[in-house]
Homo-oligomer: A and B are copies of this chain.
Amino acid sequence: MATETQRSTGRRRNPATRATILATAFAVVAELGYAGLTIEKVAARAGVGKQTIYRWWPNKGALVLDAVLERTAGAGPDGAPAELPDTGDLEADLSAVLVATVEEFADPDFDRALRGLTAAVIEDAELALAYRERLDGPMRELKKRRLRRAQEAGQLDPDVDLDLAVDLVFAPIAQRWTERSGDLTPDGARTVVRHALRGLAAP
């Protein structure tokens, strides 16, 4: 999946081609959805041979994962933001993160691309592993770090499992997004954080 660093003889891989393919894949999945995305379509639009795609990505899912990753990684300076905000006010910090997430979902391109990736991840266990390791995992780690500091500061139940805490804070909004079961508003996000934290507070 394009993460090898092997030195070898022969012509080297063209990074511009890789970038073009990923940008095109993102555009296609944003426009037509995951089901509507076709390797042939991406190849044609990117002005690239099909084999050039098949050489580097085993299937649609891997391609879309890389395409989304390329976009979200662009948020931070060298990959991902190194740390979540920490002003000492846990509720405000988590609200800021969740509100930012809600605003990302409001972008139709990002919404459709992420929907495509999520649909693929649900069915494909192998892709789900790659997704966890490269997208969800790092983000979850940041959340856990922030919560751990709060826990050490006595703002959180010291016995609570941090993975559970992350789920309690972030899953309700994520779930609402996948199932389209309600509006996604900044206010709603803040209310979720308030109640979740109340449930996780030190006794």
Contact = CB atoms under 8 A, between A and B. Distances in A.
A167 B169 CA distance: 11
Contact of A172 (B118, B120, B168, B181): B168
A67 interface: no
A154 B116 CA distance: 43
Nearest to A178: B122
Contact of A121 (B35, B125, B157, B179): B179
Interface stretch (A12-20, A75-83, A89-97, A194-202): A194-202
Chain A interface size range: 35 or more
Contacts of A174: 171, 175
B180 A164 contact: no
Contact of A199 (B122, B161, B198): B198
A128 interface: yes
A23 interface: no
A50 B161 CA distance: 51
26 contacts: A115-B123, A118-B178, A119-B120, A121-B179, A122-B122, A125-B180, A131-B179, A132-B179, A136-B181, A140-B181, A157-B195, A160-B195, A163-B181, A163-B182, A164-B188, A164-B191, A167-B176, A168-B168, A168-B196, A171-B171, A171-B176, A175-B175, A197-B199, A198-B199, A198-B201, A199-B200
Interface of A: 33-35, 115-116, 118-123, 125, 128-129, 131-132, 136, 140, 157, 160-161, 163-164, 167-168, 170-172, 174-176, 178-182, 188, 191-192, 195-201
